[in-house]
Amino acid sequence: MCPEDNADDFRPAEQDPWALRKPDWNTWKSVKQARLWQAVALACDLDPANFQLFDKPQLARLFKEPPRQFDDLLVMAKGSIGANGILKLVSRSDEGLEESEVKLSNFATWLKSIQHKLPAQFPWLSEPITLSNMDWPWGRHETDLLRKLAAAAQRFWSNYDPTDSTTAPTNQQVIEWLRGQGVSERTAEVMATILRADGLPTGPRK
């Protein structure tokens, strides 16, 4: 999900006035929060002003259409907002989730949790991923394994739709990811089973 995927779309603005500009990081680095769509643009190394009409803050697609990696990341971000997720809204807009405000350090934490490659000059540091800021039922108690359990829940189950079983990950996908995080095979199997939605069959999906 990085701009180099569409290198032809990123010609210098002085050569092409319709080219997509990169952010002015010197201006943005002092900003603490932004609209969700603006945060997504910054994560894709795009100046949000590319997609605004004059000084209006809303996302506009009239003159420049955002590239696919922007749309993909925006859909993922909107789907990750929830009571038990890492990504939180500072305030919800009546204009939709994409126009709602997020804290940029919190957004950076979410980007890290999904292993999104950040632009080299992206200035916001991610916050520690703790169970307390995910509102898990055990509150502030945490261990290394609980943190990995929480990260696996966010990574694999945040976009699960109970009405569509094909959106559920397989236990093996979760186990392999946890094994890559240093969890033993037996513990990873137990954690994957704990995370699996109630009532879902454990066999291969059809």
Q: Does residue 156 fall inside a structural domain?
A: yes
20-29, 84-93, 134-143, 173-182: least confidently modelled range: 134-143
174 CB-contact burial (10 Å; exposed 0-12 / middle 13-18 / buried 19+)? buried
> Could you tell me which residue, 201 or 8, shows the higher pLDDT?
201
Domain stop point among 113, 142, 163: 113
End-to-end CA distance of the chain: 29
Q: What single letter denotes the amino acid at residue 144?
A: D
Q: Are residues 47 and 109 in the same domain?
A: yes
Q: Are residues 98 and 141 in the same domain?
A: no
pLDDT band at 102 (very low <50, low <70, confident <90, very high): very high
Element (H, E) at 35: strand 33-35
Cα–Cα distance for residue pair 154/142, rounded to 1 Å = 16
pLDDT band at 103 (very low <50, low <70, confident <90, very high): very high
**Other CB atoms within 10 A of residue 185 CB:** 11
The answer on pLDDT for 10 being more than 70 is no
Q: Are residues 104 and 53 in the same domain?
A: yes
Residue 160 tokens, joined:
């699960």
DSSP for 147-183 reads: HHHHHHHHHHHTT-BTTBGGGSPPHHHHHHHHHHTT-
The answer on pLDDT for 61 being more than 80 is no
Q: Are residues 18 and 78 in the same domain?
A: yes
- What pTM value is reported for the model? 0.56
pLDDT band at 28 (very low <50, low <70, confident <90, very high): very high
The answer on pLDDT for 39 being more than 70 is yes
Q: Are residues 24 and 71 in the same domain?
A: yes
**What are the backbone dihedrals phi and psi of residue 121, each rounded to the nearest 5 degrees, phi first?**
-100, 10
Average pLDDT of the chain, as a whole number:
80
Q: Does residue 119 fall inside a structural domain?
A: no
pLDDT at 95: 87
pLDDT at 66: 83
Domain range spanning residue 63?
3-113
Q: Does residue 121 fall inside a structural domain?
A: no
What average pLDDT does range 157-161 have in this prediction? 79
pLDDT at 145: 85
**Other CB atoms within 10 A of residue 190 CB:** 16
The answer on pLDDT for 162 being more than 70 is yes
Residue 50 tokens, joined:
């590319």
- pLDDT tens digits, 192-205: 988 888 777 655 55
Q: What single letter denotes the amino acid at residue 101?
A: E
Residue 68 tokens, joined:
């696919």
Q: Are residues 104 and 146 in the same domain?
A: no
Q: Are residues 59 and 90 in the same domain?
A: yes
**What are the backbone dihedrals phi and psi of residue 57, each rounded to the nearest 5 degrees, phi first?**
-80, -10
- pLDDT tens digits, 130-146: 555 555 555 555 678 88
> Could you tell me which residue, 120 or 59, shows the higher pLDDT?
120
Q: Are residues 103 and 62 in the same domain?
A: yes
